[in-house]
Structure 1
């Protein structure tokens, strides 16, 4: 039995007990957040490790087909190509994602930073909400998640905890048993009704108008706390903005009834403290940053920031307790500024790059599958020499010239934090890697040593010891226990002291209108998280047939289409065949498709989603994609 941890891109960051011989995975009962239980994605991880289709030897593309190669051959070819590209460092592009996180997991980023390569910027995940929260609070922080148990009421503003955080789901369930009431705001079509006392269905992407409408009621009631206002830097600007808004128009914009808006006001204004959970999908709209900022503003105005049982929860940085070991690498030199390519428009960015991209290294990211306009990325990958560190023949691996098989979770060692709680976990090696798979650090250290001007990397233990120094975490304690809880204030922003230099909170100062619906594409596509699989880590056998989309029976397309004929999901980018099913309580213009399906099986919605950038943080506005459904 080994105490280890989950390193998947999930905020719960569970501590695990793994039996490598029996291939059993259980939650660590001693861990203060995991508490002995884990999600289905975690319990099934040996299915991924032992999958028949897993790649376990290096592959080299020859005459358009892959063949097996030795590590020595594959690394020799890569080193030769990389050495040639180093003459123009910008011609090298490194793309690294959150598919592999941790102290040791930064190895490839360290190498390519030393080489002065091009890199990516922007976000396919939560940077929009992070930047929004930083603009408001000055730093990224929230109350300890256990403080949800002290709330009188919880406003769950769009977080599908049944699919993305089983432990927050459990905390909410426990709070309800203790008498806490829960109100959920979302486009619907999820399982939030099972843990909510009240549900409000909202037009996707318009949460800022609902929050502004509640703020309008606060102004009209004169229900404002002078102490709260004195802890802000720009209250007069927000007040002037809200004064100029029309309540009825705000309700129309978010398609929420005035009665429901008034009810939401009562939930915030009543006695007791209110905790606000902010969903990680709210920022995936063109004005996702404003959505988050207006919800934060409502939590602030209602007096629920800096108090027990209150708070606004978006996330924290999973790396805030971890330091770097890059300075321990011998050889090379940091190059300062690097060329950056926008991740969500990667195909166009590569094609217009000058000097051109000649070498691409991808790890921890099924980038071809995960960014909009996938076909453009496929086309852009044709000319450069492409190396992909990947264990499955997914959409990105198929574009590679060389595929290197990495050791997976449980087959390698690392240390990582969480973007929900404050524990740092040791992901100990619990089983030997399959076949010829190697850890990412081994791969990078081997490549770096083969270069004409070699770089020498430290071993895993040295990296971990150095990374733990930032938060003064004991290496021995971490190894013995499998985790360490780092001390942070249980209540964020107590006494309303914020992270800006003047210590004051900042309100949003603009409210942008929602773009008008396109009559040719009157519906809105939402590629939401799956409960069975994490992003594109989906078994091939589960992607056979036509992908399913979900609509409400009140959706205008439902009555108009003939279910006996083929149904197509259509955007200005293209079309894909789908099966249509109905789900209750879903907004009548929403079309839901679970994310992560592969292009090669016809399941990837990103093929027909155009690149769009959010209002802050260079995020990706996946959920602002308009669409229609039609028979063909």
Structure 2
């Protein structure tokens, strides 16, 4: 039932180069690659299920198809869906153990209400009445903007559409944010400013056509393992394929790359400009494409091709190599591979570029490399932003669940957009406020300042995941906070006034939208535990108690989704109908012909995109032309100093995900050397030279201090990742209140995308 390839990819070692070419038996795979006995037990369970249900993985934004094996009403096995082209039957180790989290001891099965300072068990009727009464009281006494909602790229599209409609259209506040603001907002700003519309141009089909893979600000071997497996497979099948990985830290991804570029933190703007200089200098640009399809811009001022060439002069490799920390010859080598007219180039990036105070700028630059070379809108060449959550695109970006958006990427500030959505919602247009709400960090600052007095948090964990987190935890304690969550306690539920037990993954039906614009149906496979309800249901119940029941009288997920689909028709974000999603393994928008047309594998280009009759047209822009921006090198919000001489960055490991709310419940996923064998403690990585200079050895306890806080942890030298001198690295996963990396992290934000700069904070380290 499971192929050798599936078994290999399911292990932690799947990230290593060469896994795909191995010809081990299942037993050898277990022995040599470290598959746990628990994982092997799943292989046996898969042979004795009652039936299988089609769904989607619950973790990263790849959107892998998953089959859930059900026996006696329980999810007992998980396998990759071989009919889903996203993962072609493969799963990573986290996906393989999806079902285990459903039966964790920390499952919350009844609502909790804070009484006399303590969270105590209650019932749904009391909890919902309390929420409805308190939210209504706050709305009536302090105005609608005293309320807010913080959602998630893990919610389903129907759930996100409902809470967005409730708060923006009926309560009357645009204080609606989602956690993709912390991971993908700069990619959004980059796509919209460059092309006029959000989300990638290409799809995963390009993985099978690309000759050069250019990764920057990403560690796909750990964070997007199925993408990485497909990239390695492409190189195996086409040996001339080259993989370039650019990162300030050596990782499993750089280890397997053909070329690794270890640049200084924050110097990616200069690096990308220097690559552009090399391409232009060596005639790798496509002047005909440029003249026909591109405008140039600096700030808000139009520029010319000549202005752009003049701008690049400051970034000649020999001028900036020392500043970037990369030899000029290596910059030239990478740029020439990227720009080679006989090769197709696919760029991929994620939080390393986005979580920056100039995240939009660096996104503009990577889009610009593809534009000046004409390497986009054709198979194998595309700038592709990887997403961190399973439905960050579908459930937040597409349904408009951010403070400035409305469904199908409309804007609250646009009068016509407000009228269009108000008509679908059946309300007067003036019920939707024209002023954007508070973006993420300002929204949580408003809880600290007691301007937001009521907040609903759904399917996310800001009490651990926000930057400078201790500052904002104080605000969460001040306001009346409702948390919809599957597990308890978390660093957020412990601060809540009401906690609602939420159905998880295959316990409910829903729709997800992944990173390649693929909208996918998730079937309900099993019932949730008694006392547990879906977030979809909870939103409807609160709407009724606030007096909006007539407008939220939905009978099914399909009814909600089809209302959302009406919002997308004619926008270039047209999604497929519910019935088609149930029958197929997802459909990549835009699709026309009442949603039954051919899915779009490449946007802005005929014959792939139904909105383009011939050639290429960037129809998000009035003149159909994309923009190449002149973006100079810029400092991060924090720079190393005498007081804080190190740069601190952060990320995640293959076996764990985000704040471990889910993966932390699965014992098999904790059995990794860095964690399990060290008494279940996380760590900070540092370079050997720095450690030697400070008298620190492997395993020592250390204190890290930044302008935002301090914590104690232990040091790992020459571990899975190896930071360059002057750089410290911590995992995002640590749930220990005294060791969470976000205690130290800067809460500075990009001025356009409002995304926090998690990846660069000034810090010091000392031996305890």
Unaligned runs of 5+ in 1: none
Picking from 620, 623, 640, the partner of 1:502 is: 623
1:217 aligns with 2:275: no
Distance 1:565 1:147, change over 3 A: closer
Give the corresponding residue for 1:476: 579
619-628 vs 542-551, which moves further: 542-551
TM-score (norm 2): 0.76
Give the corresponding residue for 1:318: 394
Give the corresponding residue for 1:256: 326
Give the corresponding residue for 2:224: 165
Give the corresponding residue for 1:15: 65
C-alpha deviations, 1:441-480, integer Å up to 9, x for none? 2111222222356453312231133344544634333333
Picking from 395, 398, 401, the partner of 2:494 is: 398
Q: How far apart are 1:8 and its partner, in Å?
A: 3.2
Distance 2:722 2:683 in 1: 18
306-315 vs 569-578, which moves further: 306-315
Distance 2:248 2:506 in 1: 37
Give the corresponding residue for 1:184: 245
Distance 1:105 1:120, change over 3 A: closer
Distance 1:372 1:158 in 2: 19
66-75 vs 602-611, which moves further: 602-611
Matched residue SS, 2:154: coil
Q: Contact 1:284/1:623 (CA < 8 Å) preserved in 2?
A: yes
Distance 1:4 1:347 in 2: 37
Picking from 559, 575, 595, the partner of 1:462 is: 559
Q: Contact 1:414/1:427 (CA < 8 Å) preserved in 2?
A: yes
Give the corresponding residue for 1:115: 171
Q: Contact 1:311/1:492 (CA < 8 Å) preserved in 2?
A: no
Number of residue-to-residue matches in the alignment:
627
- Greater relative contact order structure (CA < 8 Å, 6+ sep): 1
Matched residue SS, 2:705: strand
Give the corresponding residue for 2:601: 490
Distance 1:474 1:19 in 2: 26
Distance 1:307 1:156 in 2: 19
1:624 aligns with 2:747: no
Distance 2:600 2:123 in 1: 51
Distance 1:120 1:450 in 2: 20
C-alpha deviations, 1:113-161, integer Å up to 9, x for none? 2111351458211111221122222333322222222222222223322
Distance 1:595 1:488 in 2: 36
Distance 1:621 1:18, change over 3 A: same
C-alpha deviations, 1:189-238, integer Å up to 9, x for none? 32114542121111222211111112222344455432133132122332
Give the corresponding residue for 1:237: 307
C-alpha deviations, 1:399-447, integer Å up to 9, x for none? 111111011111111012212x243211111111113110112111222
Give the corresponding residue for 1:561: 695
1:135 aligns with 2:216: no
Following superposition of structure 1 onto structure 2, how do residues 54-93 of structure 1 map, counting pairs within 5 Å?
54-87=107-140, 88-93=143-148
Unaligned runs of 5+ in 2: 1-50, 297-304, 388-392, 400-406, 409-420, 569-573, 590-597, 606-614
Distance 1:474 1:221 in 2: 48
Matched residue SS, 2:704: strand
Matched residue SS, 2:506: coil
Matched residue SS, 1:182: strand
Picking from 446, 459, 472, the partner of 1:349 is: 446
Following superposition of structure 1 onto structure 2, how do residues 141-540 of structure 1 map, counting pairs within 5 Å?
141-177=200-236, 178-179=238-239, 180-230=241-291, 231-234=293-296, 235-245=305-315, 247-280=317-350, 281-314=352-385, 317-318=393-394, 334-337=431-434, 340-352=437-449, 356-392=451-487, 393-419=489-515, 421-452=516-547, 454-455=549-550, 456-459=552-555, 460-468=557-565, 470=568, 471=574, 473-481=576-584, 483-486=586-589, 487-494=598-605, 495-498=615-618, 499-515=620-636, 516-538=639-661, 539=664
Distance 1:613 1:467 in 2: 31
Q: Contact 1:127/1:617 (CA < 8 Å) preserved in 2?
A: yes
Q: How far apart are 1:18 and its partner, in Å?
A: 0.6
Give the corresponding residue for 2:10: none
Q: How far apart are 1:585 and its partner, in Å?
A: 4.9
Q: Contact 1:465/1:475 (CA < 8 Å) preserved in 2?
A: yes
Q: How far apart are 1:374 and its partner, in Å?
A: 1.5
C-alpha deviations, 1:322-341, integer Å up to 9, x for none? 77899777889833236623
Distance 1:116 1:2, change over 3 A: farther
TM-score (norm 1): 0.92
Distance 1:339 1:572, change over 3 A: same
Q: Contact 1:7/1:102 (CA < 8 Å) preserved in 2?
A: no
Distance 1:603 1:8 in 2: 26
Distance 1:328 1:42, change over 3 A: farther
Q: How far apart are 1:608 and its partner, in Å?
A: 1.6
Distance 1:587 1:485, change over 3 A: same
Distance 1:186 1:360, change over 3 A: same
Matched residue SS, 2:626: coil
Distance 1:167 1:519, change over 3 A: same
Q: Contact 2:317/2:332 (CA < 8 Å) preserved in 1?
A: no
Give the corresponding residue for 1:30: 83
Q: How far apart are 1:526 and its partner, in Å?
A: 1.5
Distance 1:344 1:529, change over 3 A: farther
Q: Contact 1:58/1:74 (CA < 8 Å) preserved in 2?
A: yes
Q: Contact 1:413/1:429 (CA < 8 Å) preserved in 2?
A: yes
Q: Which has the higher helix share?
A: 2
RMSD, aligned α-carbons: 2.8
Distance 2:382 2:565 in 1: 28
Q: How far apart are 1:82 and its partner, in Å?
A: 1.8
Q: Contact 1:299/1:312 (CA < 8 Å) preserved in 2?
A: yes
Matched residue SS, 1:318: helix
